[in-house]
Structure 1
Amino acid sequence: MTEQRTSDIPTDEKVAVVTGATGGMGVEIVANLAADHHVYALGRDQAKLDELAAAHGDAVTTVAVDLASELDALDSVLPALERVDVLVHAAAIANALSVDSARVEDWRAHMELNVYVPAELTRVLLPGLRKAEGTAIFINSGAGRGGFGGNVVYAATKHALYALADGLRKSEQDIRVSTVAPGPTDTAMLQGLNDNYNADHVIAPAEVARAIRAVVDAGPTTQLTEVQVRPRIELADRA
């Protein structure tokens, strides 16, 4: 684990933490939040982290980390943060697996990154979230509400992530909790799952970042508990 930049962040500056910051959605989420937050961008791709640092300068602190491998020590991943205004869980993996083709190691790997990491990182950052009366955002998926025989492992983890987010929201009254669930989005993950990929038919990652912005900017007396982001034309409805 390496940190690209450290500094003393002013106590009155809003702070955001984004996992999966080097992915297709993550890069856009970081760019959007960096306009008015100091963003801690967590990811595994050092080259893309360097690009984020170059693009956003002092607005972003990049942290190179494999969150799943650091699961038992996530409290050491970030410097002590007095406040956390926004926490976005965007890191995930998805491999096309059925019950027949999946093995124990597949279930473990998906559960570790897609469920255990957001649960544990949220626990570690809860004091800062409570102090800031912040917002925890879990990036889910259309797969979180349905059954998919050829993608059952990923879908099962997203079902679990809904339960995690709902349970957190009901137990933590000092913070806001939201699930943002994009449909098919123009990312490397989706390209790896779809042989007939057409970027023009799916959601642009920047639109997911705008949905997150709507959640963050919601008024103080409300919380957007679930935001479904769908393509203008559903893939199944295309001729």
Structure 2
Amino acid sequence: MVASLYLSFTDYSLIGDANWIGLENYQRMLEDPRLLTSIGVTFRYVFISVPLQLAMALGLAMVLDRGVRGLPIYRSIFYLPSLLGGSVAIAIMWRQVFGTEGLVNQVLAIFGVQGQGWISHPDYALDTLIILNVWTFGSPMVIFLAGLRQIPVMYYEAARVDGAGPIRRFLNITVPLLTPIIFFNLVLQIINAFQAFTQAFIVSGGKGGPSDSTLFYTLYLYERGFTAFDMGYASALAWLLLMIIGLFTALNFFMSKLWVFYGD
């Protein structure tokens, strides 16, 4: 980290010596249109995929918490995408699923709908990656399931006696008592989403997709450092990403005082 901080103030091509240039790399960010594009793409990915992923994870955790027979099997099956979601193999598979001749278009053809190359269309390419991230809901689901198991059953029994329906019990018992788990998953998944790289690199062919529609921040950082051999600027980009993640994490901790409830 110290070395990258030093390199962020240099002009370094990975081959020759690093030449000190001061704040030029950081000033250059203000005039870099592709950097702004990558930030916009990444923010859209984070703020859409993370809430959808957590909602999916919580919903399935509540279903499994009802005492489904064979729970360990279902839990393992649902957790498997989280283990594989960041792999190259799954990214390649996803590219085939949403390709012109992929599974999605084959299903649409059954209903007489003409499909298209979803990953090659600038309006839909990012959506395919959002779906991929939502699909890897297994890790937060297991954590939600553990949290649900810690809520005393007597609270629900008392609520039923008072005439509270399922929605009322969910909003007044489940959500407040589960807020520490929701907060933990939220912070963890936001950090992971900001660092997403493999899916975008494989699906877009490492070039940011059509019209830079899948140009994630990490993908642009990789492009500057290891394709353009502009490691000084890439190091500055890495530190900017660290500051962005730190800012959102600090903001989450600050806002948690308003909605996270602990036992004490």
Interval of TM-score (by shorter of Structure 1 and Structure 2): under 0.3
Greater Rg by CA: 2
The structure where strand makes up a greater share of residues is: 1
The structure where helix makes up a greater share of residues is: 2
